């Protein structure tokens, strides 16, 4: 927390995991300060000794709040949900909560980690696009099928949930990697509906303190 | 559920994510039936049409319970925790819960997905061991540092939690990939303590209905 008591979010404008948390903070109207961690500059500021002490995984996001520092976006969001429950981001019914968490984990464990910066570095420049597209398509094939049975207006029914916080940033990654979204009408429809909401707009990569001027919208 | 009303776990003896769920079921004394899905045989039984309809991600574990089918190990465990809360696998204090979830996600999103079968296939036979070792070491470096501030007897304090359910199967993977565990005394100590518990033994890969005879213990 800052001296003023505000939570501090260590974030990178383009990081899809940081965006998940920014949406949660916006939806719950939690005032916070951003400390940008540039994942490219200086060989990656996440590798600095100072940041490594804060988050040993050397990844963004990390949130300093209530006297603790939490890493891992879904752990952060679950903590916010438990300590700042309004508006809720998990349904009341346990079965629907399970659907929300399943969709979130499909993205957070099954898709995003396989196309993040550190893995792309290892597969080599010339294979990056093919690798990322393959991983995302494979995940989206599953996701589209799951959503056909869970979705209402949003991923699970008609209330915005953690699953939606994972979906929109992942679709943005898919677009960055030029994945054709035509085979995913449900994903595309929900993504579009969510992007019209204010919380998804103020948290958008093109609106952050560390967004480079040429990428601002 | 079976006709007898028992939950059905779709599992593979060696899958570390399946093992996480088997430990939860054992700790909570939930009687269940195993349907083995052999990830190697027949080009991978997880790719069958029948299983794909059950779990579009074509991964184990999946749990059929209370009339629904849940995929993704942590979503399954959170559901069990909400519907069968005893003994609890998440602490009561929200800050400790955040630590448990952070550690679980470090493993479930930050380590395991990068060394699972489908990724290893893509990096090619000759690079598999090096890749897996690198990924696990990098994650364990972070984990060891985190545990030094959260651990008691187990990963977070002195109660077995979801973090422990993730730790033990990941250490088993590390051993399979011949990762030297000397630099990780805290991980090694907690792993050893947990392996002495009955729930971790009955759920062990060497004790499953689909464990090949030569790997049985």
* pLDDT classification of B99: cutoffs 50, 70, 90: very high
Q: What is the mean pLDDT of residues A158-185?
A: 98
Count of residues for chain A? 217
Strand partners, A70: A63
A141/B71 Cα distance (integer angstroms): 15
Residue A212 has pLDDT above 90, yes or no: yes
Model confidence at B215, in pLDDT bands (50, 70, 90)? Answer: very high
What is the reported pLDDT for A6?
A: 96
Nearest to A116 by CA among A173, A162, A171: A173
Residue B213 and residue B172: Cα distance in Å, rounded? 19
Mean pLDDT along residues A153-176: 98
Q: pLDDT at position B4, please?
A: 64
Whether residues A98 and B105 touch (CB distance < 8 A) is answered with no
pLDDT, averaged across chain B = 95
State how far residue B62 is from chain A, nearest Cα, in angstroms.
Answer: 10
Q: Once rounded to an integer, what is the mean pLDDT over residues A71-93?
A: 98
Q: Is the dihedral of CA B121, A43, A205, B103 positive or negative?
A: positive
- Between chain A and chain B, the number of residue pairs with CB atoms below 8 A apart is 118
d(CA A8, CA A67): 11
Residue spans per domain, chain B: 8-87, 94-200
Using pLDDT thresholds of 50, 70 and 90, give the confidence band for residue B3.
Answer: low
**What pLDDT digit, counting tens, does each position of B140-174 carry?**
999 999 999 999 999 999 999 999 999 999 999 99
Does the distance separating the beta carbons of A72 and B105 come in below 8 Å?
Answer: yes
- A94-200: which CATH topology? Glutathione S-transferase Yfyf (Class Pi); Chain A, domain 2 (1.20.1050)
pLDDT tens readout for residues B38-63: 998 888 999 999 999 999 999 999 99
Residue-wise pLDDT tens digits, B177-212: 999 999 999 999 999 999 999 999 999 999 999 999
- Best of A72, A116, A119 to disrupt the B interface (most B CBs within 10 Å) is A72
- A1: its two tokens: 């927390």
pLDDT of residue A124: 79
Q: Which two tokens stand for residue B129?
A: 């061991």
Sign of the Cα torsion A91, A93, A94, A98 reads negative
% of chain B with per-residue pLDDT over 70: 98
Q: CB of A179 within 8 A of CB of A140?
A: yes
Tokens of A58: 């050397």
Pairing mode, if any, of strands A62-65 and A68-71? antiparallel
Interface touch A82/B97, C-beta < 8 Å = yes
Whole-number pLDDT of residue B125: 83
At residue A3 the predicted structure's pLDDT band, cuts being 50, 70 and 90, is low
| Span A137-150, average pLDDT | 97
Can you tell me the mean pLDDT for B26-30? 98
Q: What is the pLDDT of residues A34-70, one digit of tens each?
A: 999 999 888 899 999 999 999 999 999 999 999 999 9
Which residues are CB-contacts of A126 (< 8 A; sequence separation ≥ 6)?
none
The alpha-helical segments, DSSP class H, found in A84-177 are 94-110, 117-123, 128-150, 162-176
HSE, CB side, 13 Å, CA atoms: give it for residue B155: 28
- CA distance linking residue A213 with residue A13, whole number of Å: 12
Whether the CB-CB separation of A12 and A58 falls below 8 Å is answered with no
Question: What are the pLDDT digits (tens) for B112-134?
Answer: 999 988 788 878 788 899 999 99
Kindly list the distances between the CA atom of residue B96 and the CA atoms of A52, A56, B146, B161, in Å, as whole numbers in the listed order: 21, 17, 13, 10
Decide if B8-87 and B94-200 have a common fold. Answer: no
Q: B25-43: buried (b, 16+ CB within 10 Å) or exposed (e) per residue?
A: bbbbebebebbbbebeeee
Tell me if A59 and B110 make a contact (CB, 8 A cut-off).
yes
Angle at B96 between CA A106 and CA A167, to 5 degrees: 20
DSSP single-letter state for residue B70: E
Cα distance between residue A216 and residue A204, in whole Å: 10
Is A4 a residue whose pLDDT tops 70? no
Q: Are B76 and A91 in contact (CB under 8 A)?
A: no
Average pLDDT over residues A162-172: 98
Quote the pLDDT of residue A122. Answer: 79
Nearest CA to B104 out of A78, A1, A214 is that of: A78
Specify whether the CB–CB gap between B46 and B104 falls below 8 A.
no
Is the pLDDT assigned to residue A170 strictly greater than 90?
Answer: yes
A197 closest CA partner among A165, A171, A175: A165
pLDDT value at position A2? 57
Q: Please, which residues have CB within 8 angstroms of residue B204's CB and are 6 or more apart in sequence?
A: B19, B217
Given a cut of 80, whether residue A128 has pLDDT beyond it is yes
Residue A116: band (very low, low, confident or very high) from pLDDT cuts 50, 70, 90? confident
Dihedral of CA atoms A53, A55, A56, A59 in degrees, nearest 10, equals -130
Percent over 90 (pLDDT), chain B = 89
* The predicted structure's pLDDT at residue B168: 98
Alpha-carbon span B179 to A38, nearest angstrom: 31
List the single residue in B71, B105, B113 with the smallest CB-CB distance to A102.
B71
Q: How far, in Å, CA of B8 to CA of A136, rounded?
A: 29
pLDDT for the residue numbered A120:
86
Greatest C-alpha distance within chain B? 49
Query: Of the candidates A74, A98, A119, which has its C-beta nearest B101's C-beta?
Result: A74
Helix or strand holding residue B177 (H, E): none
Cβ(A161)–Cβ(A155) below 8 Å: yes
- The topology under which CATH files domain A8-87 is Glutaredoxin (3.40.30)
Distance from CA of B148 to the nearest CA of A (A): 11
What are the chain B neighbours of A56 within 8 Å (beta carbons)? 141-143, 145-146
Q: What is the mean pLDDT of residues A117-127?
A: 83
């Amino acid at each position: 927390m800052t001296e003023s008591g505000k939570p501090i979010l260590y974030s990178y404008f383009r990081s899809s995991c940081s965006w998940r948390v920014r949406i949660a903070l916006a939806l719950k109207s939690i005032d916070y300060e951003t400390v940008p961690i540039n994942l490219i500059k200086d060989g990656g500021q996440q590798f600095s000794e100072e940041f490594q002490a804060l988050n040993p995984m050397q990844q963004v996001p990390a949130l300093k709040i209530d006297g603790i520092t939490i890493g891992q976006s879904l752990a952060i969001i679950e903590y916010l949900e438990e300590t700042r429950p309004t508006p809720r981001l998990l349904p009341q019914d346990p079965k629907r909560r399970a659907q929300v968490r399943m969709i979130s984990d499909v993205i957070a464990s099954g898709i995003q980690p396989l196309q993040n910066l550190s893995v792309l570095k290892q597969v080599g420049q010339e294979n990056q696009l093919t690798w990322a597209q393959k991983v995302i398509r494979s995940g989206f094939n599953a996701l589209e099928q799951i959503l056909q049975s869970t979705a209402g207006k949003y991923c699970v029914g008609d209330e915005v949930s953690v699953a939606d916080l994972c979906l929109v940033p992942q679709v943005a990654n898919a677009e960055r990697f030029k994945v054709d979204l035509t085979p995913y009408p449900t994903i595309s429809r929900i993504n579009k509906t969510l992007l019209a909401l204010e919380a998804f707009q103020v948290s958008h990569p093109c609106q952050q303190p560390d967004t480079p001027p040429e990428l601002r919208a």
